[in-house]
Chain A
Amino acid sequence: MQKEVMFAGFGGQGILLIGNILAHTAMEEGFEVAWVPSYGPEMRGGTAYCLVVISDRPIGSPIVRNPMHLIAMNRPSLEKFAPVIKPDGVVVINSSLIPVSSGRDDVDELLVPANDIAKDLGSVKVANIVALGAFVARSKIVDFEGIRKCVQEQFASKEKLIPINMAALDAGKKAANPNIS
C-alpha cells in the first residue's frame, strides 16, 4: 500500500520541514519513504511544496501525478493541487489564509485555522505544526505519538521551542477531532 502526501504553501511557512517530520516518522515506523521537494529558482515568499511518499514496499516512481492527501497552507497551493488529489483523500485547508474550499465533494476536507491557532499559542511560526497535527490525527497515516516524538527530536537542539510545538500538534489534533477532548 502506497500513500502520498503533498505539502504546499509559500516559502517560509515551514512546508519542507513538516514533510520531513512526517517522512522521518514513517521511516521510524518501518515504512519505505521518499521526500521530494520542489526545487527551482525559489525565493522567500514564493511557492514551496514537497511530496512525501510512504509505502510498505520499495518506492518506484517518486513522482506522482495524483497524490492521496493534501495540506494546503495558502490559496494558490489549494487551487493548484486540490483538483488532482485522489478521491477519499484528506485535504487540510489553512482557513486562516484560504477563504475558499477545495470545491471537491469526494474528499475529506478539513478546515483548520492554523495561523490563528498558532497565534493564540504564542507564535504564528508553528502554524505548520498545527496543520501537521490536524492531518496526522485525521488521516492516521502514522501514529500520533510517533509524530510527537519526531517533533521533539527535530527541535532537540532548540529545546525551548519544544513545548510550543507540542502544544501546536495537540491543538491541530483537537481541530481535526473537535468532539474528542
Chain B
Amino acid sequence: MGKILMKGNEAIGEAAIRAGCLNYFAYPITPQSEVAEYLSRRMPEVGGVFLQGESEVAVGYMLFGAAGSGERAFTTSSSPGVSLMSEAISYISSAELPVVFVNIVRGGPGLGGILPSQADYFQATKGGGHGDYRLLVMAPASVQEAVDMVMMAFSLAEKYRNPVMILGDGLIGQMMEPVEFSDHLKSEPSNKDAWATNGMDTRKSKERNLVKSLFLDAQLLEEHNLALKAKYDRMKQEEVRYEPYNIDSDYRALIVSYGTMSRVCKTAIDNMKTEGIEVAMIRPQTLFPFPINPIRKAASKKGCVAVISFELSMGQMVEDVERSVQGKCPVYWHGKAGGEIPTPEEVIDKVRSFT
C-alpha cells in the first residue's frame, strides 16, 4: 500500500486499529478531538468499541477494567484530561496492566491554551500520579513516527505489563503528512493467561488471577516495588531510543530536543552548516528511558562547548540533560510555553549566544 495523506490525530486512531486494538475509551478535548471523531466512525466498521466516558476519570478506570480482563485498550487525551486520568495510571501501573495512553499536549498549567506544548514532560516521565511507578514514554517528531510508535506501544505495554505513553505536541496531532501503516509493526497479543482475569475455565487453570494494587504488608509491598523497579531497570537497558543528527561533525554545540521542536532544530542545524558552523543533536525518541549515555558521550566530545536543551516548556527535560551530562559541559536551556514554536532563526540566535 502506498502512502496516504493523514492528519496526525486520525493517523493515531488508525494506527491503534492496525495494531489490533479494538477498545477505545476517551473524552474529547482539543487538540486531539479528531481521534475520537475518527474512531467513532471507524471502530464500528471493524467491530471495535468506542465508548465516550463521562469524564477522563471514568475513562482511566474503563481502561483499567478492559486491560484487567485481557483486552488491548487505549485512550487519547490532552494535558488536563491526562491529569484527571493520573490516579488510574498509578493503579494500572501497580496492577501491572498493559494500556496505551496518548497525550497530545497543550499549553498549561491549568486549562492553559490549546496550542502545541511539551509542558507535560514531568507529568509523563516523573509520574503525574502517586507512587513509585514509571511509564515507558515515546515522543514522535512526525505523523509517520506517531503511527509507528502507537503500533509498537501495544506490544511494548504487553512485554512489560506496564502502561506506555505517547507524548506528542499539538502540532503532531493537527498536522497532515504522508503515512504508511507497516504490517510488521502489528503484533499478536501476548499470552494474557498469565495475568488476565479471563476466567479459570477459559484458560484451563486452577490458579486465579487477581488485579490489585493494595499491599498492606510492608514486606509484600517492598517486594512489589522491587519487582516494579527491576522492570523499569530492564526498560533502561533495552528500550532507549534516540536519533543522532550531524553527530559525526566537529560540532561546537550539542542540541537535545524532541518532538516538533527537534524538527525546527534540524532546520537550524542545516542552515548553520551552510555557514560553516557545526552543531549536532541528540533527539530522544524515548523520554523514559532517557538516552543518558548517548548524551553524556556526545557532550564529552572535544570541542563541544555547550549543550542546549530546546523545549516547548519552561525547562523540564533540561533537568534530565543535566543529569546525563554530569558537568562534563555547560548545559543551557531555551524554550517557549505559550504555544508559539521558536523559529529556526531563533534557535540559531540562541546557539550563537551560548557558544
List chain A positions with a Cβ less than 8 A from chain B. 20, 23-24, 27, 32-37, 39-41, 59-63, 65
CB distance from B275 to the nearest CB of A (A): 16
Complex: how many Å from CA A49 to CA B3? Answer: 25
Complex contacts, A36 vs chain B, CB 8 Å: 171, 174-176
Residue contacts A-B, CB under 8 angstroms, 18 given: A23-B5, A23-B176, A24-B5, A27-B3, A32-B178, A33-B5, A33-B178, A34-B177, A35-B176, A36-B175, A39-B30, A39-B31, A61-B267, A61-B344, A62-B171, A62-B263, A63-B171, A63-B341
Number of interface residues of B (CB under 8 A): 24
Quick check: is B75 within 8 A (CB to CB) of the other chain? Answer: no
Tell me if B114 and A63 are in contact (CB < 8 A).
no
Closest to A60 in B: B267
CB-CB nearest in chain B for A64: B343
B177 near A61 (CB under 8 angstroms)? no
CA distance A27 to B3 in the complex (A): 8
A65 to B176, CA, bound (A): 19
Any chain A CB within 8 A of the CB of B266? yes
Determine whether B345 belongs to the interface, using a CB cutoff of 8 Å to chain A: yes
A159 and B265 CA atoms in complex are apart in Å by 44
Residues of A within 8 A of B343 (CB): 61, 63, 65
Residues of A within 8 A of B178 (CB): 27, 32-33
Least CB distance from B116 to A in Å reads 9
CA distance A102 to B3 in the complex (A): 37
CA gap between A41 and B178 in the complex, in Å: 26
Return the contact of A35 from the options B170, B177, B341 (Cβ within 8 A). Answer: B177
B176 adjacent to A20 (CB under 8 Å): yes
Q: In the assembly, what is the distance between CA of A63 and CA of B327, in Å? A: 33
B23 interface residue, CB < 8 Å from A?
A: no
Interface membership of B164, Cβ < 8 A: no
Cα separation A60 to B270 with both chains bound (whole Å): 9
Q: Which of A35, A40, A65 contacts B5 (CB 8 A)?
A: A35
Which A residues are in CB contact (< 8 Å) with B177?
A: 33-35
Task: Encode B329-347 as 1/0 by CB contact (under 8 A) with A.
Answer: 0000000000001011100
With A27-B3, A27-B5, A40-B115 in contact, do A34 and B175 touch (Cβ < 8 Å)? yes
- Which of B170, B174, B268, B345 has most A Cβ within 10 Å? B174
B114 neighbours in A (Cβ, 8 Å): 39-41
Q: Which positions in B face A, CB cutoff 8 Å?
A: 3, 5, 30-31, 114-115, 170-171, 174-178, 260, 263-264, 266-268, 270, 341, 343-345
Partner of B175, one of A32, A35, A60, A65: A35
Task: List chain B residues, Cβ under 8 A from A59.
Answer: 263
Q: Which 3 A-B pairs have the closest CB atoms?
A: A60-B267, A35-B176, A61-B267
The winner among A32, A33, A36, A62 for most chain B CB atoms within 10 A is A62
Q: How far is the CB of A136 from chain B (nearest CB, A)?
A: 17
The reply to whether B176 and A34 contact each other, CB–CB distance below 8 Å, is: yes
| Known contacts A37-B175, A61-B264, A61-B266; 14 further A-B pairs (Cβ under 8 A) | A23-B176, A27-B3, A27-B5, A34-B175, A34-B176, A35-B5, A35-B176, A36-B175, A37-B176, A39-B115, A60-B267, A62-B175, A62-B260, A63-B343
Q: Considering only CB atoms, which chain B residue lies closest to A65 in the complex?
A: B343
Minimal beta-carbon separation of A64 from chain B (angstroms): 8
Contacts of B115 in A (CB 8 A): 39-40
Residue from the set B178, B264, B266, B345 with the largest chain A CB neighbour count within 10 Å: B178
For B176, B178, B264, the residue with the greatest tally of chain A CB atoms inside 10 Å of its CB is B176
